[in-house]
Homo-oligomer: A and B are copies of this chain.
Amino acid sequence: MKKIFNMSNPKVERVLADLKRLGYRLTRPRRSVLQVLMEADDCLRPEEIHVRARRYCPTLGLVTVYRTLSLLSGMDHVRRVHREDGCHGYARTELAHGHHLICRDCHQVIEFPGLDDLSLLIDPIERETGFLVEDHLLELLGLCPACQG
């Protein structure tokens, strides 16, 4: 597995291994998008990912960013994050596994763990409504400590 960027991110390596395992080719464009997503601590829109990733792959097209995001979403390595402004951002699953704090100023995403027992909330609702709950999205919107000043 030849290295392409001087930087070797273990998170990137893990996803690459998974892609390989599933028979996908480990291309330079895919690596570049992956690198950007895994080194970011906030959610990025496709256009922003495109700009950043061209540092690693100057020929990268925006179309491939969309395709890679779709692929990685399907494998659940990244998640789409709903943004109030109407656009959608993407963040690595580690950052966005269903419960997050989103700063309306700097768009930083903070995942809060220790909350996978939303079943306490969900179970009674399922019983009362007859709904079958398959997934959930909990977003707390506000201001991060830095942006409150």
> Which residues of chain A have a CB within 8 Å of any CB of chain B?
80, 82, 86, 88, 101, 103-104, 110, 112, 115, 121-122, 125, 128-145, 148
Give min CB distance, A65 to chain B, whole Å.
15
A82 CA / B145 CA spacing, docked (Å):
26
A103 CA / B133 CA spacing, docked (Å):
9
The copy count of this chain in the complex is 2
Asked if B134 contacts A141 (CB within 8 A), the reply is: yes
Asked if B125 contacts A101 (CB within 8 A), the reply is: yes
Q: Which residue of B lies closest to A146 (CB)?
A: B130
- 28 A-B contact pairs sorted by A residue (CB < 8 Å): A80-B86, A82-B137, A86-B88, A101-B133, A103-B131, A110-B129, A112-B125, A112-B128, A112-B129, A122-B140, A125-B140, A129-B145, A130-B144, A130-B145, A131-B142, A131-B144, A132-B142, A132-B143, A133-B141, A133-B142, A134-B142, A135-B140, A135-B141, A135-B142, A136-B138, A137-B137, A138-B138, A138-B139
